[in-house]
Structure 1
Amino acid sequence: MNLTAQMQKLLAKLRSESHTLILDNLESVTGQPLAIPNTLPAAEQQQLRDFLTRLVGGETRVILGSRSDESWLQGAFRQNIYQLRGLDGEARTELSNKILERNVGDARKIAKIREDGDFQKLMKVLAGYPLAMEVVLGNLKNLSCQEILVKLAAADINLDTGSEDKTQSILKCVEYSHSNLSPDAQKLLLCLAPFSGFIWRDCIPLYANELQKLEPFQHYDFDKFDGAIQEAINWGLLSDISSNPSPERGEERLLQIQPVFPFFLKAKLAELDAATREALWEGFKNHYIGLASDYNRYMESKEPQERQIGIFFCRLEYENLYNALQICLEKQETVDIFFCLFQYFYINHDILSNLKLSEFVYNAQVAYPPEIRTGEIGWENLMALSRLASCYLDTKNYLQAKESYLQILELSQQLQGVEATQIKSSLARTYHQLGMVAQYLREYDQGRDYYQQALEIYIEFGDRYSCARTYHQLGTVAEELREYDQGRDYYQQALEIYIEFGDRYSCARTYHQLGMVAQELREYQQGRDYYQQALEIYIEFGDRYSCARTYHQLGRVAEELREYQQARDYYQQALEIKIPFGDRYSCAITYHQLGMVAQYLREYNQARDYYQQALEIKIPFGDRYSQALTLHCLGTLAQAEQNYSEARANLQRALEIYVEFEDEYWATVVREILEGLPE
């Protein structure tokens, strides 16, 4: 058959039958700069285009692989473009296992590496790119994950294989693409060396403005910066991660950096003079101080969409923000970026990450010279210490939290050149937090005194908005003391202020507490309504973590109304949210309630399992009072099963704790049960 007849027969077969046709290295067809020399004449290019276009709509799947955009074949693939990025999570794990087995060998050592938190950071940096993983992870034979991260940040070329083969060396691999960029692009792209993982393209002009303020960059032609970035995109050094990009309109706004590109750029940067290198990091730092302020403002917004924007960009920008913060600490300057990152972890309820970050910043600030720790920088130091103290509070380290807050009161008196209103505001916040510490320690009178001190300062300075938060906490104290009417009054005062200031998100927290008061007063329908109002707001703001707490309380209401299946459903919803967040302590509370539901339904074995799960979590946290509640229930469960010796043992342990905490109400209840037990 002649060639035309062969083509027709092949087309008919491919259109009617399911095959897969793969054409790779298509950039060679048109002779692109990085292509293997194999260019087709124009007439043959036309034949290939016609052939592929006629396959559209048939049964055969066609995969076209290229380093270029192959716009000349647009009619064949239309909008079916997949930007090739790193391996997915499962494939990354599989490849990393093979690399570790080949280079490390020892199964116990491999397990220890995988348990190292820095290993996950390293995997994130490598972003699933096979060559980068092969080369970098191979160094785990002799180096720790932390040492490798440090060497990557410092562009230590000894991490590389040293091979001249671009398929074995990450530097030669990037050089292969980088060398084909224009000289102007190569020069401008060096300015991206400080970035890690992500670049917001829209903000590059702002970054260029910061650089141009500095002498070494005043003669750079930053008008060509965006064009240089486009060249890097074209050759795979940067890739677009926007949801709906439109390349023809230049809308590749969110860019992911090929993971070894910054490593390569830093190695190139070492060839420049020290003044230029220093200025580059200075401009990068100043750029992110500005962005951190914007992101923080978004995260503190009362509008749900703005909060989500702030969270979204902090997630993408975390490495860049953290790197800029490190520069600030090294230069003993402002730590504004820290407050942004703290807020990001706070909103995401990542308590342990916040604690680690806060300790890192505070320990660095301790090294600041005394002469700068009394002015504006000293004020920031106090704010950082306050954030650290709140982390201690969140991790139930109450004594450390109290010590830190008292230290803030003392250091506040030593500040100079700081406005009195700022200092007073800090004192009020610190008294408020000391009130929370006292409350957690069940020192309710002391807690109430601290809250009143905070309130007096807020009222003195006309800070109605801050009053709301303290009214809310006074409500929780009254609630703990079973002064429910007083608690409701405080919550209503807080709610009125939040509504006045349009703070719907804070309203949710107060609606939740009003629900708890109504529940205690056996006004169950009213309580359910308040919880539903809170839940609607949390869902609106995308706060799944807080939803869990409200689902738990809706379970309590259903339980009180003997709607046990409904209660169990709510508790399970709460648990499904809490477990992924790693909030083991809060899980214990829900396990306890699931135990009570099972006990009501006479599913005694299931109830015992839930109580034991709750107790196993509570004991390491050292929350003895909460342990008493679960021991109490285990005692009544054993009583129901007529296992009186076990019942007596658990109830006696619960009684000892109630007495220790001077809770006469529950101590009396337990004594009455013990007296009624058969010998």
Structure 2
Amino acid sequence: PISPNSSKFRDEEEEKYFEKLGNLYQYTPPEYGFIGRDLEILKIEKALFRHNILLLQGMGGTGKTTLLNYLRSWWQTTNFAPEIFYFGYDKQAWTLTQILFDIGKRLYKKFEFANFQAMNLTAQMQKLLAKLRSESHILILDNLESVTGQALAIQNTLASAEQKQLQDFLTRLVGGETRVILGSRSDETWLQGAFRQNIYQLRGLDAEARTELSNKILERNVGDKRKIGKIREEEDFQKLMKVLAGYPLAMEVVLANLKNLSSQEILAKLAAADINLDTGSEDKTQSILKCVEYSHSNLSLDAQKLLLCLAPFSGFIDRSDIPNYAKQLQKLEQFQDDNFDKFDEAIQEAINWGLLSLINEDIPQLLQIQPVFPFFLKAKLAESDAATREALREGFKNHYIGLARSYNRYMESKEPQERQIGIFFCRLEYENLYNALQICLEKQETIDIFFCLFQYFYINNDIPSSLKLSEFVCNAQVAYPPEIRTGEIGLEIVMALDRLAVGYLQTQNYPQAQKSYLRVIELSQQLQGVEATQIKSSLASTYHQLGRVAEELRQYDQARDYYQQALEIKIEFGDRYSCARTYHQLGIVAQQLREYDQARDYYQQALEIYIEFGDRYSCASTYGQLGLLAQAEENYAEARANLQTALEIYVEYQDEYMATVTREILESLPE
């Protein structure tokens, strides 16, 4: 039995108790409540045990101050530390003298504090250092970017002598019991002796937290649950969420506009840098433009000018490729006299001020863009003349046409590692490639970027995305004038229509697929000024695909006729490699008609060509079909050998989908 014999407070006990309650930090949640950050809190706590001083760095709008305020409350509730001291440089320029006074007032009793005050600054610092190094308190210095900021841009700066005092104090806390968090947008190199390599990069909210925050914003600003449900299902809403990247301030400001605008309209306004999307507040914690301007104003004038050239980019920048981008710009009249030698230095300044950040510490050239930084740059760019803005779009477009061709070559490579490089960069660069493709369509120019993106979706088996992209491109090309529809651009129109037909075929929309392929044949025969081999290649490919459509409809005799037409054209102009695909499909038709010997002959011809040309990946499909053929003939040993070879190739090329399918067939074979 427990018998708590509590007694009444003595007067001094009661005073001490309520004084302690009064000194506790009273946490005020943000507008939509504190959401997510569980993993971040765990990582921050672990980092503080590894080294007692941590730099919490993040772009504007990531919610650093919100997180630190929540941590004050959380650590207070969980008794993580006896005392938690917080000094925000967004409110005032805290000098070391003021910090020592505030900490001493809370750590020392009345008379001891009076003695402490009587000491000079050096003695105060040494006395307090001894206490802090031996006791497990928490010290938080937030918004430190203000300390060294330009005086004209930021009010709460410290003189160099005061910076040196603060630096000395923090460095002397290294290795002690008190844990220190330094919150900043900047890299704070002047304090690196204190935090060393202990840096935590705060990014956007995770997927679950993003959904929760967006739900709360929609509930407040849209209200109607049915309308909210429709909004969430829209693809444009998903694009918008991707653009905002889970940054709380950007989400709160931008998503609130869904009260009056659609997701598509908001995306268009972001692309056009319509400042009416913003709150109009002068407070950097409420306005996305002011939030970015706060950091941007601290860049050198040269850096500000050079970084305007990043306005067309979204989400990602390959730092190592920026010199090539600069070369494209310098080919244009408006940028011929510009000096891009310091472009990399400007990018480093933007990293230092949290406008760009590393995606992966191990690959420093891959950079993430602060979600609203391009929006801010476009707003700044609007102040330039129209010719400069148009030249920037032209340079950006030309840069990505070149990159798209390079990525496509990688994805079509026979080497698995090269294919993965192409896929990796297309995933990171998707928004930039898509934006450049839109410019190409607007100018009615080459659509090489489309073929790259289609290949990316095709390799990843993302059929809905490839079909939607193909429909978008083909619809845009309808507006092309007749005079450019028969030359090189006409050939690209035919090729785009072919990709559209592939999408219809893969989604089992056979009537539309057949209609599109027949239209491809019609347009191919109208081409002029195009090499005969290109036209023949297009026709051969289309007859092959018409064979696929007939095959899916179980019209095997019709399918065989189409495949034979394709094969005759390929043999005529000597495209031996392309013959392999058609031999492969002829094998499938023969197998369906139970003409097993004929089927095996076709498969063997396809396999010989693939081996001859070193196309190991394509061999996998043919080995798979040989395995299925042997299975149909109940030759299970041969079936297992061929399927095992196919599986090994799929694993080598990291094709998880086909590897899984092949593995399931293998497991189903009788012993």
Q: How high is the TM-score relative to the length of structure 1?
A: 0.78
Partner of residue 564 from structure 2, selected from 443, 446, 452? 452
Rounded to whole Å, the distance in 1 between the matches of 2:157 and 2:490 is: 63
SS state at 1:148 partner: helix
Partner of 1:527: 639
Following superposition of structure 1 onto structure 2, how do residues 141-152 of structure 1 map, counting pairs within 5 Å?
141-152=259-270
Are 1:193 and 2:306 an aligned pair?
no
Range that drifts further, 65-74 or 521-530 = 65-74
Offset from partner CA, 1:363-411 (integer Å, 9 cap, x none): 1111111111011110110000100011110000111111111111111
CA 1:259/1:446 → structure 2, altered by over 3 Å: closer, same or farther?
same
The one-letter code of the counterpart of 1:167 is T
Following superposition of structure 1 onto structure 2, how do residues 52-91 of structure 1 map, counting pairs within 5 Å?
52-55=173-176, 62-91=180-209
Partner of 2:157: 37
Are 1:255 and 2:375 an aligned pair?
no
Are 1:161 and 2:282 an aligned pair?
no
The one-letter code of the counterpart of 1:157 is I
CA 1:525/1:367 → structure 2, altered by over 3 Å: closer, same or farther?
same
Partner of 2:327: 209
Rounded to whole Å, the distance in 2 between the matches of 1:284 and 1:62 is: 44
Partner of residue 337 from structure 1, selected from 449, 466, 479? 449
Are 1:328 and 2:328 an aligned pair?
no
Rounded to whole Å, the distance in 2 between the matches of 1:332 and 1:30 is: 49
Rounded to whole Å, the distance in 2 between the matches of 1:327 and 1:471 is: 40
CA 1:23/1:310 → structure 2, altered by over 3 Å: closer, same or farther?
same
Partner of 1:538: 650
Partner of residue 347 from structure 1, selected from 449, 453, 459? 459
Are 1:271 and 2:392 an aligned pair?
no
SS state at 1:167 partner: coil
Partner of 1:496: 608
Rounded to whole Å, the distance in 2 between the matches of 1:205 and 1:390 is: 37
The one-letter code of the counterpart of 2:253 is V
Rounded to whole Å, the distance in 1 between the matches of 2:164 and 2:525 is: 84
Offset from partner CA, 1:8-41 (integer Å, 9 cap, x none): 2432233xxxx65433233455567657334563
CA 1:375/1:479 → structure 2, altered by over 3 Å: closer, same or farther?
same
**Larger RCO, structure (CA 8 Å, separation 6 or more):** 2
CA 1:31/1:365 → structure 2, altered by over 3 Å: closer, same or farther?
closer
Following superposition of structure 1 onto structure 2, how do residues 37-436 of structure 1 map, counting pairs within 5 Å?
37-38=157-158, 41=162, 44-55=165-176, 62-245=180-363, 252-436=364-548
Partner of residue 619 from structure 2, selected from 476, 488, 507? 507
Offset from partner CA, 1:492-531 (integer Å, 9 cap, x none): 1111111111111101111111110111111112212222
Rounded to whole Å, the distance in 2 between the matches of 1:431 and 1:230 is: 53
CA 1:380/1:32 → structure 2, altered by over 3 Å: closer, same or farther?
same
Q: Tell me if the contact between 1:29 and 1:45 (Cα under 8 Å) persists in the aligned partners.
A: no
Rounded to whole Å, the distance in 1 between the matches of 2:609 and 2:286 is: 63
Q: Tell me if the contact between 2:132 and 2:173 (Cα under 8 Å) persists in the aligned partners.
A: no
The one-letter code of the counterpart of 1:322 is Y
Range that drifts further, 120-129 or 95-104 = 95-104
The one-letter code of the counterpart of 1:361 is V
Q: Tell me if the contact between 1:284 and 1:324 (Cα under 8 Å) persists in the aligned partners.
A: yes
Following superposition of structure 1 onto structure 2, how do residues 506-585 of structure 1 map, counting pairs within 5 Å?
506-557=618-669, 560-561=670-671
Q: How high is the TM-score relative to the length of structure 2?
A: 0.78
The one-letter code of the counterpart of 1:136 is V
The one-letter code of the counterpart of 2:235 is G
CA 1:228/1:46 → structure 2, altered by over 3 Å: closer, same or farther?
closer
Q: Tell me if the contact between 1:402 and 1:434 (Cα under 8 Å) persists in the aligned partners.
A: yes
Q: Tell me if the contact between 1:451 and 1:470 (Cα under 8 Å) persists in the aligned partners.
A: yes
CA 1:20/1:538 → structure 2, altered by over 3 Å: closer, same or farther?
farther
The one-letter code of the counterpart of 2:227 is K
Partner of 1:615: none
CA 1:47/1:70 → structure 2, altered by over 3 Å: closer, same or farther?
same
Rounded to whole Å, the distance in 2 between the matches of 1:43 and 1:284 is: 44
The one-letter code of the counterpart of 2:336 is Q
Q: Tell me if the contact between 1:389 and 1:401 (Cα under 8 Å) persists in the aligned partners.
A: yes
Alpha-carbon deviation of 1:44? 2.6
- Bigger helix share: 1
Offset from partner CA, 1:212-247 (integer Å, 9 cap, x none): 1111111111112111111111111111213415xx
Partner of residue 7 from structure 1, selected from 123, 129, 151? 129
Alpha-carbon deviation of 1:485? 2.1
SS state at 2:486 partner: coil
Rounded to whole Å, the distance in 2 between the matches of 1:217 and 1:523 is: 69
Q: Tell me if the contact between 1:25 and 1:35 (Cα under 8 Å) persists in the aligned partners.
A: no
The one-letter code of the counterpart of 1:48 is F
SS state at 2:530 partner: coil
Q: What are structure 2's unaligned runs of at least 5 residues?
A: 1-111, 117-123
Alpha-carbon deviation of 1:178? 1.4
The one-letter code of the counterpart of 1:53 is V
Partner of 1:487: 599
CA 1:76/1:46 → structure 2, altered by over 3 Å: closer, same or farther?
closer
CA 1:384/1:54 → structure 2, altered by over 3 Å: closer, same or farther?
same
Offset from partner CA, 1:351-371 (integer Å, 9 cap, x none): 011111001111111111111
Range that drifts further, 320-329 or 526-535 = 526-535
Rounded to whole Å, the distance in 1 between the matches of 2:616 and 2:432 is: 32
Partner of 2:85: none
Q: What are structure 1's unaligned runs of at least 5 residues?
A: 246-251, 562-679
The one-letter code of the counterpart of 2:358 is D
Partner of 1:641: none
Rounded to whole Å, the distance in 1 between the matches of 2:293 and 2:143 is: 19
Offset from partner CA, 1:516-562 (integer Å, 9 cap, x none): 011111111221222221111111111112123212322431xx44x
CA 1:449/1:361 → structure 2, altered by over 3 Å: closer, same or farther?
same
Partner of 1:665: none
CA 1:64/1:392 → structure 2, altered by over 3 Å: closer, same or farther?
same
Q: Tell me if the contact between 1:27 and 1:35 (Cα under 8 Å) persists in the aligned partners.
A: no
